[in-house]
Amino acid sequence: MIGVDEAYRIIQENVSALPPRTVGIKEAAGYCLAEDVVSDIDMPPYEKSAMDGYAVIAEDAVPGAELEMIENIAAGYVPTKTVRRGQVSKIMTGASVPPGADSVIKVEETEALGTGRVRLLKEVKWGANICITGEDFKACDIVLKEGKELRPQEIGVLAMVGAKRVKVFSTPRLGIISTGDELVGINKKPRAGQIRDSNSYSLYAQAVQTRAHVELLGSARDKKIEILSLLKKGLRRDIVLLTGGVSVGEYDIVVDVLQEAGVEIFFHKVALRPGKPIVFGRSKQTLVFGLPGNPVATYVNFELFVRPTIRRMMGFEDENAQRMVIKAELEVDIARKRTRREYRPACLRMDSGRFYVAPVEWHGSADLLGATRGNSLLILPEDKNPLSSGDEVDVMVTGEF
């Protein structure tokens, strides 16, 4: 049986970024840039005052000096007069520094005398409170590179350079299929031996979080023809997730169906808990994940394998595709029967700058309510058992904490 890291590597070998598409700036946040963005202007586009004050020649700025005010320059207006020795122009933050002036003295460091004159209370250094033309970036500079995630800061930069439409990598279309004779829809009351299909909805929420275009393709009974019919719809998408039917039982027919549908299987089973029975394959450009029926197993498989796949398709680099893993101090002793790598729902907390983690009360891979008590997945390694309170452990951060 292959390990988690090997499984991840195999999946990554089969992933590539989707073709770019053009979106408006208001829709671009959260996507990955698929082109270099070049500025059409210098920023600042002109010598700009960083303060409300007076544009002055630094040599004139001695405490007590009384100077003549020749102009009042608001932001958005072009100065019309040149500042000469003995003169100042009043200037607002963001306004264009007038010719002649080489510095700006803050309004708090002056005293207006009326009659168009102003007294300076301090000296000012040459160049003070002036932002130089192009100091942030220059016309023709690449301001944002292909591969960059468009966060709010980047969206603002796009606006600065007038990039009102931009190329980003597409998000995958993802279809979800649940399988199992025991499943009923969420609007039905389960009868004896039945449970509601919860995996479709938890997977939907996980996938929507990544911005994938997600569709619930339906629920199939444990009959090849039913699964095959939904799978065919799924194979028109970039990713298909199936849940259930991947264990070793005689009704676990998903792998057979995948093979009959021409899906090339790369692995079946990973040394992992929960989530061991996962199947991964590909049919042309569609990646296929057969996930177990147990809700927490499905949840963990998605975070470990599917989420990074979606993010890679969206153009993100590997390090920006995976969930963050941080070190924390284990708060309890943990002994296990097996030494498969384990991802256990856990509570991560911060105290005085250190991270601490403890598993939550949890009854195993069917207990999704138990998983709601956690904010992270405690990673129990293959090569260390038992673990003791105080040990340093890895924790996968799955959301805010």
Tell me which residues in 289-328 interact with its own copies (CB under 8 A).
Answer: 293-295, 299, 302, 320, 324, 326-327
CB closer to its own copies, 100 vs 190: 190
Residues 222-251 interacting with its own copies (rule: CB under 8 A): 222, 247-251
Which segments within 79-145 are labelled E, that is strand? 87-91, 103-106, 110-114, 117-120, 130-131, 142-144
Q: Residue 243 is encoded by which pair of tokens?
A: 């849940």
Cα 103 to Cα 50, 54, 58, 111: the distances in Å are 10, 8, 6, 17
Tell which one of 14, 190, 228, 391 touches its own copies (CB under 8 A): 190
CB closer to its own copies, 131 vs 261: 131
Reduced DSSP (H G I as helix, E B as strand, rest coil) percent helix, strand, coil of the chain, to 5: 20, 35, 45
Tell which one of 143, 174, 239, 291 touches its own copies (CB under 8 A): 143
Q: Per CB under 8 A, does 193 bind its own copies? A: yes
CA–CA dist 56, 161 (Å, integer): 30
Residues 79-138 interacting with its own copies (rule: CB under 8 A): 92-96, 107, 131, 135-137
Range in contact with its own copies (rule: CB under 8 A) among 56-64, 114-122, 288-296, 378-386 = 288-296
Tell which one of 11, 20, 33, 48 touches its own copies (CB under 8 A): 48
Q: How far is the CB of 297 from its own copies (least distance, A)?
A: 11
* Contact string (CB under 8 A) for its own copies, positions 338-377, x = contact: ------------x-xxx--------xx-xxxxxxx-----
Q: How many CB atoms are closer than 10 A to CB 31?
A: 24
CB closer to its own copies, 58 vs 366: 366
Contact, 171 vs 213, CB < 8 A? Answer: yes
CB closer to its own copies, 262 vs 381: 381
Q: How far is the CB of 188 from its own copies (least distance, A)?
A: 8
CB closer to its own copies, 52 vs 382: 52
Contact, 241 vs 286, CB < 8 A? Answer: no
Contact, 115 vs 51, CB < 8 A? Answer: no
Instruction: Give residue for tokens 């840039």.
Output: 33
CB closer to its own copies, 322 vs 385: 322
Tell which one of 6, 36, 40, 264 touches its own copies (CB under 8 A): 40
Q: Residue 174 is encoded by which pair of tokens?
A: 């993802």
| Total interface residues for its own copies by CB under 8 A | 108
With H, G, I as helix, E, B as strand and everything else as coil, classify residue 84: coil
Tell which one of 64, 115, 153, 284 touches its own copies (CB under 8 A): 153
Residues 10-39 interacting with its own copies (rule: CB under 8 A): 25-26, 28-30
Q: Residue 198 is encoded by which pair of tokens?
A: 């919860």
Q: What is the DSSP track for 197-239? A: --HHHHHHHHHHHTT-EEEEEEEE-S-HHHHHHHHHHHTTSSE
**Which region, left, alpha or beta, applies to residue 198 given φ > 0 means left and ψ of -120 to 50 means alpha?**
alpha
Residues 156-185 interacting with its own copies (rule: CB under 8 A): 156-164, 180-183
Residues 62-81 interacting with its own copies (rule: CB under 8 A): 74-78
CA–CA dist 236, 215 (Å, integer): 12
**Which region, left, alpha or beta, applies to residue 81 given φ > 0 means left and ψ of -120 to 50 means alpha?**
beta
Q: How far is the CB of 283 from its own copies (least distance, A)?
A: 26
